[in-house]
């Protein structure tokens, strides 16, 4: 069910308020070109900058991207440190433009275990763009859906919330993305058909779109394909379909005939 305030695309379809993307396939993109994996990550940043613009142009209010997972520390040290440096370089290269384009940057994830340089770069970007409201770009960094649930539980307990007062709304309030509506559309590039621990709580009713397109090849046209797939779905949220006839045949016969 879409509210009256939902922006509409030129085809009069409702624009998803929140799109979440698992930006996967950078390594394979590089490998196919006989390049080191780091080149794939670098190309992935360029892709992200284009997709942020495309999302804003289409009226998407919240774009959340998986940049580094809680599990990505398992990668070779050289790749991890390359990703950390790339984040800093990418922010310094693109921040001014993102800021002037009305993008508000936010970050979710465990920043206590990243280096102070990385943490500061992320927090500075958030601070510099906090006044913007065209599109909220959330960078999930050292993020995992399970981490998010654990940190929410820890803070609920620390705040002394009585057990019988813990509701779904309480948990949502303590989740890292409590400022955003739940994702309507969850896209994963790179051909894998799994969630890989991204936004587990928040994606309960997200429409899932998986594409073989590798992240560095993803662009506005690919986003439009995902939107077209989204518009084919009927979102029921556990209800019956809108065109469903009344279930007359299953009515209980109480007349004794």
Beta strand segments in the chain, E: 18-22, 62-69, 103-108, 135-143, 185-188, 207-210
Rounded to whole angstroms, the Cα distance separating 137 from 85 reads: 20
Among 26, 64, 142, 203, binds ligand IPE (CB under 6 A): 26
72 catalytic, yes or no? yes
Nearest CB to ligand IPE, comparing residues 22 and 107: 22
**What is the footprint of ligand IPE within residues 77-96 (CB under 6 A)?**
83
**39 counts as binding ligand IPE under rule CB under 6 A:** no
In angstroms, give the least distance from the CB of 86 to ligand IPE.
9
Nearest CB to Mg ion, comparing residues 24 and 222: 24
Question: Which contiguous run of DSSP H or E holds residue 94?
Answer: helix 77-100
**Distances in whole angstroms, Cα of residue 195 to Cα of each of 95, 116, 135, 247:** 29, 29, 24, 36
Name the residues that contact Mg ion, by CB under 5 A: 24
In angstroms, give the least distance from the CB of 50 to Mg ion.
20
**72 counts as binding ligand IPE under rule CB under 6 A:** yes
Maximum distance among all alpha carbons in the chain?
78
**16 counts as binding ligand IPE under rule CB under 6 A:** no
Among 63, 64, 68, 226, binds ligand IPE (CB under 6 A): 68
Q: Residue 196: which of Mg ion, ligand IPE, none does it interact with, CB under 5 to 8 A by kind?
A: ligand IPE
**Distances in whole angstroms, Cα of residue 112 to Cα of each of 67, 108, 126, 175, 192:** 17, 12, 16, 17, 29
Task: Tell me how crowded residue 52 is: count the other CB atoms within 10 A of its CB.
Answer: 21
Backbone φ/ψ region at 69: left (φ over 0), alpha (ψ -120 to 50), beta: beta
* Nearest alpha-carbon partner for 111 in 132, 99, 126, 93: 126
Q: Which residue is nearest to Mg ion (CB)?
A: 24
Following DSSP, what letter does each residue of 3-31 receive, concatenated? -TTS-B-TTSPBPPSEEEEE---HHHHHH
Beta pairing class for 18-22 and 185-188: parallel
Nearest CB to ligand IPE, comparing residues 26 and 211: 26
**227 counts as binding ligand IPE under rule CB under 6 A:** no
164 catalytic, yes or no? no
Catalytic residue (choose from 11, 26, 72, 184) = 72
Nearest CB to Mg ion, comparing residues 31 and 225: 31
Among 16, 27, 61, 183, binds ligand IPE (CB under 6 A): 27
**Stretches 51-59, 66-74, 84-92, 97-105: which one binds ligand IPE (CB under 6 A)?**
66-74
Task: Tell me how crowded residue 171 is: count the other CB atoms within 10 A of its CB.
Answer: 15
Q: What is the dihedral of CA 46, 192, 114, 139, to 10 degrees?
A: 50
**Stretches 52-60, 61-69, 120-128, 245-253: which one binds ligand IPE (CB under 6 A)?**
61-69
**69 counts as binding ligand IPE under rule CB under 6 A:** yes
**66 counts as binding ligand IPE under rule CB under 6 A:** yes
**Which residues belong to the active site?**
24, 72
């Amino acid at each position: 069910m879409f509210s009256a305030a939902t922006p509409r695309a030129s085809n009069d379809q409702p624009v998803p308020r929140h799109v979440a993307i698992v930006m996967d396939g950078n390594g394979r993109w590089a490998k196919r070109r006989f390049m080191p994996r780091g080149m794939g990550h670098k190309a992935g940043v360029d892709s992200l900058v284009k997709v942020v613009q495309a999302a804003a142009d289409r009226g998407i209010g919240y774009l959340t991207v998986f940049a580094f997972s809680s599990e990505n520390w398992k990668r070779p040290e050289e790749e991890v440190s390359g990703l950390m440096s790339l984040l800093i370089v990418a922010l310094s290269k693109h921040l001014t433009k993102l800021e002037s384009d009305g993008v508000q940057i936010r970050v979710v994830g465990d920043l206590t275990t990243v280096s102070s340089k990385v943490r500061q770069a992320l927090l500075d970007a958030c601070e510099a763009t906090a006044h913007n409201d065209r599109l909220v770009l959330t960078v999930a960094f050292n993020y995992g859906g399970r981490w998010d649930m654990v940190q929410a539980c820890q803070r609920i307990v620390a705040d002394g919330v009585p057990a019988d007062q813990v509701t779904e709304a309480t948990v949502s309030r303590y989740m890292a993305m409590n400022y955003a509506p739940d994702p309507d559309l969850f896209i994963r590039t790179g051909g894998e058909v799994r969630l890989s621990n991204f936004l587990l709580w928040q994606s309960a009713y997200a429409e899932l779109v998986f594409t073989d397109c590798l992240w560095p090849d993803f662009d506005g046209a690919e986003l439009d394909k995902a939107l077209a797939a989204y518009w084919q779905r009927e979102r029921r949220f556990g209800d019956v379909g809108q065109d469903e006839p009344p279930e007359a045949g299953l009515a209980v016969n109480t007349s004794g005939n």
